[in-house]
Structure 1
Amino acid sequence: MRNVKFKNKTYPCAVSLTMDLVGGRWKTVILHHLKNGDRRYSELRREMQTVTEMTLSLQLKQLEKDGLVSRKVYGEKPPIKVIYNLTDFGRSFIPVLEAISKWGNEIVEEKGEFLLK
C-alpha cells in the first residue's frame, strides 16, 4: 500500500481516505437518504429520527466541505429553504451505498428480522 493525498491531506492508503470521507455512524446514512433526490434538512431529520440536530448539521457540513453534498439556500428572510443533494462526486458513491445496503439486507434475512415502522 502507498500513501495517498487528497485536498492537502495525506492518508496511509485509499481505504483510510474513503473512511475519512464517508465513515462514522451518520455520513453514509445521510448519503443513502440523498441518493434518490434532494432533501430539506427537516426531511432528513424526520427520516433519521435518532440523530441529534447538532450531529446532522455537523455531518452535512463535513459532507459539503468534502464535496459529496451540495447545499442550496432559497430565500433571504426566515423561514429560508435549504435543500441538500448529492454532487457528481457524491453520486459516484451510490454503487458502494447499494452494495452496503444489499449486504445489510442479507444479514437481516439470515440472522435478524425486518420490523414494521
Structure 2
Amino acid sequence: MSSGYPPFFADQLIELYGKIVSGKIQFPSHFSSDLKDLLHHLLQIDAEKRYGNLANGVDDIQTHQWFSATNWIGIYQRQVEAPFVPKTKGPGDASNFKEYEEEPRKKI
C-alpha cells in the first residue's frame, strides 16, 4: 500500500513463487528506513522470525518505530477519523469496485 504495488511480482507464476521464497525485496528509494525495517520483519521468510509470530505477538508490530504516531487505542475505540472514506449511495453500494465475472458456485 505504501508503494501502490505488491512486494513480489512477475509475469509468470513460477517466477513469482521464486521471488517469494528467495525473500529478496527491493524497496523504492522513497521508503524510510523505519518502513523498510518494518516490511523486512513482516515479509520474513522464516515464520519463527516474522513479526506477529514472535513471543510479543502483535506488539512487535504496534510498537515498531514506523507506527510511533499511530493512536492504536483511538483506532480500536473508533475515535480516529479515516484518512479516506469513499462516497456511497447507501449500504450495499459496490459502485467503487470494478466489475468482475462471478465464478459459478460448486455443489458440495
Q: Larger Cα Rg: Structure 1 or Structure 2?
A: 2
Greater share of residues in strand: 1
Asked which structure has the greater RCO (Cα within 8 Å, sep 6+), the reply is 1
